[in-house]
Every structure is written in C-alpha cells, then in structure tokens.
A and B are shown apart, each in its own frame.
Chain A
Amino acid sequence: MMVRFILTRLFRAFITILAVITFAFVVLRMSGDPAQVMLGPDAPNETVLAFRATWGLDQPIWVQYAAYIKSIFSGDFGVSMRDKASAIHLVIERIPATLQLTIPALLLKLAIGIPAGVYAALHRQSIIDRGVIFGAVLGFTIPSFVMGLLLVLLFSIILGVLPSGGQDTWQHGILPTLTMAIGGIGILARFSRSAMIEVMGQPFIRTASAKGLKWKDVVWSHALPNAAVPIVTIVGFMVGSLIAGAVVVESIFSWPGIGRLLVVSVTNRDLAVVQCILLVVAATMVVSNLVVDLLYGWLDPRLRSQSAH
C-alpha cells in the first residue's frame, strides 16, 4: 500500500516537471524564431539556414521537442547569452545567497507563527488572540515590496541603524529576512489558529477532556497532531514558493540571489537563464509538495488509502 502511494506521488511529480519543461519549450518557440533572435534581423539567408541546420531547427517540431527534453535530462540547460557561461552554473552560484535569506526567514515564520496561532486558538477573545488576528490581517494585506520599503524608511533612513542594500556584512541580511518573514508569520498564525480551533471543537477532544486527561495532554497529544495536517500543507507551500518570495525582496535590497538574477535576466532577455530558474523553481515546488504528501501519509493514515487509487 505504502509503496503504491509513494509511486503514484512520484509519477505525478514527474508529470508536473515534464509539464513545466514543455511550457518552457512552447513559450520559447512561440516568442520568436531562435535563429532570428540569435543572429539578428539582418543576417543573410544562408547563415540563417546554416544556423538552423546546426541547431536542428529545420527538423519537425516534435523531433526538436524530443531533443530538447533529452538535453534537459542530460543536464544541458543552455548557455547564457550575456555571459556565455553555462546557465545552470550561473543559477547554482546564486543559490547560497538566496538560502541565506530564505532559511532564517522560514525559521522565524515557524518559530513565531505556529505558537502564536496555537496560543490564540486556546485563548480565544484574549488580548493576544485579537493581536494575532490583527497582525495576521496586516501581514496578509501588506505586500512585501511595501513592507520592505517601510522597513528601509524606518531603520535605514529615519533611525539610520541598518544598511538598506547589499550583502557585505550580516547586518545587511536583517531587513531582507524580516521583510520575508513578517507576511509569512501572519499567514501561518492565522492558519494555525483556525486549524486548532477546528480541532478543539471536535468530539474526540471533548471525550479526552471528559475522561479526565490533563489539559496539557489533551492539547499536546490529541489536538496538536490533528491540527498538524493543514499546518504542514501551508508550510509545504511556503517552502515551495521561497524563491518566488525572494524575487521582490532581493530586488529591493540588491541581494545577489536567484530572485535578483531572474529579474536582471528578464530585463536582458537572457532566456536560457530564465528557463533554468523556471525549472529550479518548479523542482523546488514539486519536491516540497512530494514531501508534504508523504508527510500526510505519515501524519494521517486515513489519507494513505484514500489517495492511492
């Protein structure tokens, strides 16, 4: 049973990655003739024909598609038009910088968001509950670019205590990390709160309290494990979209990570790099979805049998 469950999930992950690769191929081909793009509009006809023959562009489209898929799976992601370097290397080079921001931000979200939400759910209508709701709504409605600029305005310009851009010292990382974390804390707190309230209203909690369990045990061993499923879902989604969140924040703070590379490559129309980042992002999302699915099976045995068919 478990093996089949895992195999189904792996197959779906594979299909999704294939769909993203196909998307990149289709969009790339729809946006113009690669020969014209590479050689410019004034290239003589023989040169264009020769270029097409060299790169297999005179083949039928499905042959090109097969060749494209093959090159991707053999690790050939094309060459950056700007730096003439391998696109995948340019992208891999930037990954550590992005992780330097996203991992602390993720830890902050988990360490503050979940406890705040759970506490608020257990102490409804208290001041902290209202604070959590209010904070969650604010975190949800303030877009990260506004949040980032407000933090710069406050800490760099008015107070002058933190740098507003660059990557020279660890202080440079504080504002971008905070910008990334604040919205997520709000969303996670709101989610944990409603998941916990939902669980606390279930009959089995009443049973557990009625049979004389200590309040602490009711919460820790009956309520929290059941509230974990929806919380894991949203955390998985956050992990999967870390890079997307980094795009705006890295641009604001001139942080040399993948997100900034993406925006710069788009401006330069460096398509090989854009396509490479697309695949990295999709792979992150697919892997984190896969992990979440497997975690579900572990957290809630009922889901194993349901989703295996």
Chain B
Amino acid sequence: MTIADTSSSARPDHTVFSRIGRAFRQVPFSVGFGIVWLAGMVLVAIFADQIRPYGITAMDLRSRLALPGTFPHVLGTDELGRDVLSRLIQSIRMSLVIAFGATIISAVFGTTLGFLAAKFRGVVEHLVLVLADFQAALPFLIMSIAILAFFGSSMSLLIVLMGFYGWERYARIARGLAISASAQGYAASVVQLGATPMRVYLKHILPNVASTLIVSMTLTFPEIILMESGLSFLGLGVQPPETSLGNMVGFGREYLTRAPWIMLAPSLVIMLTTLSISLVGDWLRDKLDPTLR
C-alpha cells in the first residue's frame, strides 16, 4: 500500500536539513498522521488526570445536554450535565489500558503455547492445535458474551477475557516459525553447545521471529479496541460509573436525536485510532517483514 518514491533523482546535497527532510519525506503523510495521532492518544491516556477539566462523575445540573463549543464545556455535556470532554479523556485511557494489557497478555500466552507445541510436539502440539481450532470455531464476541453471562461483568474478568483475544494467531505463528527455526543451523548449534531449551527459545529463536509477532500485535491491538468497545456498547463490558469509548457511544445512543455529540465524539476517536493503527501497522509490516502482505 505504501509507495516508495524511487524515481526522484538523487542529488548530492549532504546538509543536515536535507537529510532530515528526506527522512521525513520517506514517511507517507497518512503514516505520519497516524503516528502523531497515536502519540497524542498515548499522551492523553498517560496524563488523563492532569488534563481532564472536570471529574468524570461531576454533574453540572444547570447545563445539562449543553451544546459543544460553549464555555465552559468544550464538547458539551450529557444528560446528567457531565462534561463530555472529561469523560472522553477518561474513556481513552480506559480503552487504551485494556487494549495494551490484553495485547501483551495474548501475545505472551499465545507465543508460549506455540513454543511449547514446537518443543514437545506429539500430544502437547495436538492439544494446542485443538484449542486453537476451538477458539477459531467460536466467534470471540459470542464467547465473551457467554462468559460474561455466566460470571457477571467485572473489570478484571474483562481484561483477562480480552487477553485471550487472538492468542491462537500467535500460537500458530510461533509454532510454525519455531519449528522451521529449530531445523536451522543456529538453533541446532546452541543446542549442541548445551543451552537449556529455555535459553534456546528465549534468547535465540524469539529474537529471530519477533518481527512477525510484532506485526501480528499491530493487527490484534485495534481489533481488541473494537471488541472491548463493542461489548461495552452492549452494556456487557466496562460498567458505570467507569467509562470507556464503547460505553460512551452506548449511552449516547439514547440521546441520538437531542444530543448527537455525546455519541459522535467517542465514535470519532475510535475510528481515528483504529485507522491510525492500521496505517502505521501496514507501514511497519512493509519495513519489518517483507514476506508478509
């Protein structure tokens, strides 16, 4: 998708400015936008407490359903007079924390299972593959809804649940790559030198397959954001008084006619964030792993 501009004639100027300029020009505009937006979101999530103008449950009963663009509520207020901007900032933090946590859990969990399958083969491998088949056979949304139905929704359950999202993808990739890596000279030679399996897998095989795994993480991350916001939208994810992006859209839906801004602000953030991640992810994929498309 990214187009490298190779046609421009290479002029021999070596000033610092031109080199910086060229480095910038190599990043397409859309990717640059994605990076800036994501950096902004991360900053908002980290400094949420400092930049939030009001508390997320603070009600301003005299200005309920206030229009956006009015002082003192820049993005307006909701049905209880709560500041939409403040809730949006808190929601960004919540959704990003869940997505980051879950992406890391699922990458570690899936990669570990994949490596175990590659190491022990036989029964262990079959077990992992059957589990992966099972995970692929049951759409994740339906599985999460069922689990939340049986256990009731709670914050820790939600993060653990999201941490299972996409593990089977890492497991399959890690298993395949580890099997082909152990057939290569470098893995065999460290085994010959007496390295423990732990050392072989973590110090030698993992660094060699890391780029592919990182690429899958950029695919999983936006999907987890969408999954969590979908569940929260249905009222099964993050529970009030806490708030997440999907949660805000869900509540905003009730006021679609009278106050569409409650729903539009978080929707826009969800769209731009997933868009940025997939733009940057595509670009990273081209840079890190030319074999993948």
Q: Which of A157, A198, A248, A274 contacts B234 (CB 8 A)?
A: A248
Cβ of B261 to closest chain A Cβ, rounded Å: 11
Q: Are B138 and A281 in contact (CB under 8 A)?
A: yes
Q: Are B137 and A286 in contact (CB under 8 A)?
A: yes
A219 interface contact, C-beta 8 A: no
With an 8 Å Cβ cutoff, the count of chain A residues facing the other chain is 52
B229 interface contact, C-beta 8 A: yes
Bound CA span A137–B274, Å: 10
Q: Are B270 and A247 in contact (CB under 8 A)?
A: no
Bound CA span A23–B164, Å: 15
Bound CA span A28–B249, Å: 31
Cβ of B279 to closest chain A Cβ, rounded Å: 8
Contact residues in B for A141 (Cβ distance below 8 Å): 222, 271, 274-275, 278
Segment from B38-46, B67-75, B141-149 that makes contact with A: B141-149
Cβ of A163 to closest chain B Cβ, rounded Å: 14
Segment from B108-116, B200-208, B252-260 that makes contact with A: B252-260
A174 interface contact, C-beta 8 A: no
A49 interface contact, C-beta 8 A: no
Q: Are B249 and A145 in contact (CB under 8 A)?
A: yes
Q: Are A133 and B278 in contact (CB under 8 A)?
A: no
Contact residues in B for A30 (Cβ distance below 8 Å): 150-151
Contact residues in A for B53 (Cβ distance below 8 Å): none
Give the residues from 156 to 199 in chain A that come closer than 8 angstroms, CB to CB, to chain B: 157, 194, 198
Chain B interface, >50% SS class: helix
A15 interface contact, C-beta 8 A: yes
Segment from A51-59, A81-89, A146-154 that makes contact with B: A146-154
B101 interface contact, C-beta 8 A: no
Given the contacts A149-B263, A275-B146, A285 and B137 also touching, CB distance less than 8 Å: yes
With an 8 Å Cβ cutoff, the count of chain B residues facing the other chain is 44
Contact string against B for A residues 259-285, beta-carbon threshold 8 Å, 1 for contact and 0 otherwise:
000110111010100110110011001
B236 interface contact, C-beta 8 A: yes
Contact residues in B for A240 (Cβ distance below 8 Å): 139
Cβ of A199 to closest chain B Cβ, rounded Å: 13
Q: Which of A252, A266, A286 contacts B148 (CB 8 A)?
A: A266
Q: Are A282 and B138 in contact (CB under 8 A)?
A: yes
Contact residues in A for B138 (Cβ distance below 8 Å): 20, 23, 278, 281-282, 285
Q: Which residues of B contact A (CB under 8 A)?
A: 1, 130-131, 133-134, 137-143, 145-151, 222, 226, 229-230, 233-236, 246, 249-250, 252-253, 256-257, 260, 263, 267, 270-271, 274-275, 278-279, 293
Q: Which residues of A contact B (CB under 8 A)?
A: 12, 15-16, 19-20, 23-24, 27-28, 30-31, 133, 137-138, 140-146, 149-150, 152-153, 157, 194, 198, 240-241, 243-244, 247-248, 251-252, 262-263, 265-267, 269, 271, 274-275, 277-278, 281-282, 285-286, 289
Q: List 8 A-B contacts (CB under 8 A).
A: A27-B147, A30-B150, A143-B270, A145-B246, A247-B234, A277-B142, A278-B142, A282-B138
